[in-house]
Chain A
Amino acid sequence: MDKIKIGIPRSLYYYYFKDLWQIFFEKLNIDIVISPKTNKEIIDKGISMSNDEMCMSLKIYIGHVSYLLDKCDYILIPRIDNYGLENQTCTNFLATYDIINNLFNKKIINYNIDLFQNETELKGFLKLNKILKRNKKQIKIAYEEALKESLNIKDKKMMKNINNLKNKKIKILLLGHPYNIYDEYIGDPIVNYLKNNNIEIIYSDLFDSKKCINKSNILTNSCYFKYNKENIGSILLSKKYIDGIIFLTTFPCGPDSLVNELVMRKINTPFINLIIDDSNILTGFETRLESFIDILERKKIHE
């Protein structure tokens, strides 16, 4: 029988699970293909296939999926409902599997994380045994090793991020969901601009998730969006060291619209709020970033 090939869209879930997935499939000797960095074609395709009210990030995701259609046998789309009731995700993370399944006629490989219903990540992976043609024992071993190694990789990145806090340069916390921060078209232009201007970027996703979630209580005590709690926690863990914060959001992100608003009303650190949608995704934010950096530099001199 032919070997199967699994397609992974470089968007949304990818930025949370890329190491885990890559190592896992490598260990099981299963081929994967990852869509390229977001490009104009992917964006256009995504916009044309999606409902115009969907958020920009989901539109881009749909573009990545359509890129992969003829390049693999299955597309990997997990469903992530919650990590307990007080740690839920955005409803798009619940719905993407079904949206894609109805939009395209393509086989999907899918697992579900719903800790409230006792559906763990491991259980989800084990259920993939038939499609992957591997036995449960093989999967369990591969998963556990991949998990360990991916956590090690993250630890190293976090160490670097935290070390950067001690840097003498101007430091800006880039706060947003990883699928936005690291996207070629959303976060990259901002990251590049900051780097070219000699700014040290602190990434909101490279902090310990548990610590962040615990700390987030200080700024918001009724929040139940896991990813937003992680973002907010990063402010509290880094605020002594950073000069400013950039809130990066895609239009119209539901959880961000509420949580970021509340947080912006409570913090003293200087910040700007950048909202990306399909009309400004290509034009950039140079002017706003330039003036923001100016303000931070002046402030630093005065201190």
Chain B
Amino acid sequence: MKNCYLGIDIGSISTKAVIIDDENKIILSTYIWTEGNPISSTKNLIKKIKGKLPNQYIIKGIGTTGSARKLIGLMLDANVIKNEITAHAIGTLSIYPDTKTILEIGGQDSKIIIINNEVITDYSMNTLCAAGTGAFLSSQAERLKINIEDFGKYAISSNNPVKIAARCTVFAESDLIHKAQMGYNKEDIIAGLCKSIVLNYLNNLSKGKKIEQRIVFQGGVSKNIGVIKYFNEILKTQVTVDENSHLMGALGIAILAKQNKTNKIYNLDLLNVKFETKGFECNKCSNNCEIIKIYKENKLIDAWGSRCGRTFNDENNVKS
């Protein structure tokens, strides 16, 4: 029997999974849309994995990262739960140890990570809003009636990208509509959109940071050749995009799961286990915290969100 480790990256748009062996080699990987429900998407993901994993492997560690890391980590009894910034850096470094800059644009947020001697020395996450993230691109693709996968192709066929104001989605969208009404063609508008995403990203995140080679571009949007083109053009250099660029977070957290492994063996038998979350506002003190309670088979297993350290029982009452 061989050991393997599962890493899951649950983002707002997609859920990604990677299984690696002791040499950090990816045995299998898969991803599905999160569709606003991390619990069911994780279950579907696990179903897919179980069918594919060769028999000689046993899972010795599970790590979760991404915005729903805590919930899914609890659900899978993960041995590592880590934020996506650390996970992305570790995943990327395992493939490109000479990485100095990671540019990442995901579904709901974007980040830049600066690395020196394989240690994160600086990073920032977008501070304004969703302008220039995957979700915004998808919604614009839909409005222009174009398949999001073809977005990049349209963009690189333009030589004359339209200037688009992209400080905020609301403004960017109205500007886009405005430009379309003025009669610009689709290619130029899409190219303009891709360019504005790059400009917005650099203006927003890279102020005061040195972007040095090797530069790795990842996250869902890194699949868009239009955005890659404008990164190369504006940075006046070549960015690296791995074929698994969307899986770096999952890979990183799988590696962390390996490093933190215990003797536990995971069998992934949770397809029929019922998980639920319920939210309520606790009015026990003036903090009025929003409490999220997690139920496994109708039994409360955890509650989060309390600022004063109270714990809760089933009937929304305070236990202590």
Q: Which of A51, A52, A277, A279 has the most CB of B within 10 A?
A: A279
Q: How many A-B residue pairs have CB under 8 A?
A: 28
Contact A51 B207, beta carbon cutoff 8 Å: yes
Contacts of B178 in A (CB 8 A): 283
Contact B203 A279, beta carbon cutoff 8 Å: no
Q: Which of A51, A52, A280, A281 has the most CB of B within 10 A?
A: A52
Contacts of A262 in B (CB 8 A): none
Contact A279 B166, beta carbon cutoff 8 Å: yes
Contacts of B67 in A (CB 8 A): none
Contact B204 A278, beta carbon cutoff 8 Å: no
List residues of A (30-80) whose CB comes within 8 Å of B's CBs. 47-48, 51-52
Any B CB within 8 A of the CB of A282: yes
| A48 vs B167: C-alpha distance when bound (angstroms) | 12
Take A279-B165, A282-B165 as given contacts and tell me if A52 and B175 are in contact as well, using a CB distance cutoff of 8 Å.
Answer: no
Query: What is the CB-to-nearest-CB distance from A302 to chain B, in angstroms, rounded to a whole number?
Result: 34
Contacts of A283 in B (CB 8 A): 165, 175, 178
Query: What is the CB-to-nearest-CB distance from B76 to chain A, in angstroms, rounded to a whole number?
Result: 39
| A48 vs B207: C-alpha distance when bound (angstroms) | 8
Contact A52 B168, beta carbon cutoff 8 Å: no
Contact B167 A277, beta carbon cutoff 8 Å: yes
| A277 vs B172: C-alpha distance when bound (angstroms) | 13
| A283 vs B177: C-alpha distance when bound (angstroms) | 12
Contacts of A280 in B (CB 8 A): 165, 171
Name the residue on B nearest A282 (C-beta): B165
Contact A279 B168, beta carbon cutoff 8 Å: yes
| A48 vs B165: C-alpha distance when bound (angstroms) | 14
Contact A279 B175, beta carbon cutoff 8 Å: yes
Which of B127, B171, B203 has a CB less than 8 Å from the CB of A48?
Answer: B203
Query: What is the CB-to-nearest-CB distance from B234 to chain A, in angstroms, rounded to a whole number?
Result: 10
Contact A52 B171, beta carbon cutoff 8 Å: no
How many chain B residues have a CB neighbour from A under 8 Å?
A: 15
How many chain A residues have a CB neighbour from B under 8 Å?
A: 11
Contact B165 A278, beta carbon cutoff 8 Å: yes
Which of B171, B172, B175, B203 has a CB less than 8 Å from the CB of A47?
Answer: B203
Contacts of B175 in A (CB 8 A): 279, 283
List residues of B (211-242) whose CB comes within 8 Å of A's CBs. none
Query: What is the CB-to-nearest-CB distance from B258 to chain A, in angstroms, rounded to a whole number?
Result: 39
Which of B127, B172, B207 has a CB less than 8 Å from the CB of A279?
Answer: B172
| A277 vs B165: C-alpha distance when bound (angstroms) | 10
Name the residue on A nearest B128 (C-beta): A52
Query: What is the CB-to-nearest-CB distance from A136 to chain B, in angstroms, rounded to a whole number?
Result: 41
Contact A278 B167, beta carbon cutoff 8 Å: yes
Query: What is the CB-to-nearest-CB distance from B267 to chain A, in angstroms, rounded to a whole number?
Result: 49
| A277 vs B171: C-alpha distance when bound (angstroms) | 10
Name the residue on B nearest A281 (C-beta): B165
Contacts of B171 in A (CB 8 A): 279-280
List residues of B (150-204) whose CB comes within 8 Å of A's CBs. 163, 165-168, 171-172, 175, 178, 202-204
Contacts of A51 in B (CB 8 A): 207
Name the residue on A nearest B170 (C-beta): A279
| A47 vs B204: C-alpha distance when bound (angstroms) | 10
Contacts of A277 in B (CB 8 A): 167
Contact A52 B204, beta carbon cutoff 8 Å: yes
Query: What is the CB-to-nearest-CB distance from B167 to chain A, in angstroms, rounded to a whole number?
Result: 4
Query: What is the CB-to-nearest-CB distance from B202 to chain A, in angstroms, rounded to a whole number?
Result: 8
| A281 vs B167: C-alpha distance when bound (angstroms) | 12
Contacts of B165 in A (CB 8 A): 278-283
Please name 28 pairs of A and B residues whose Cβ atoms are closer than 8 Å in the assembled complex, sorted by A. A47-B203, A48-B202, A48-B203, A51-B207, A52-B127, A52-B128, A52-B167, A52-B203, A52-B204, A52-B207, A277-B167, A278-B165, A278-B167, A279-B165, A279-B166, A279-B167, A279-B168, A279-B171, A279-B172, A279-B175, A280-B165, A280-B171, A281-B165, A282-B163, A282-B165, A283-B165, A283-B175, A283-B178
Instruction: Name B's A-contacting residues (CB within 8 A).
Output: 127-128, 163, 165-168, 171-172, 175, 178, 202-204, 207
Q: Which 10 A-B pairs have the closest CB atoms?
A: A279-B171, A279-B165, A279-B167, A278-B167, A48-B203, A52-B204, A52-B203, A47-B203, A279-B168, A51-B207
Known: A52-B128, A52-B203, A280-B171. 5 other contacts (CB 8 A): A48-B202, A48-B203, A277-B167, A279-B165, A283-B175
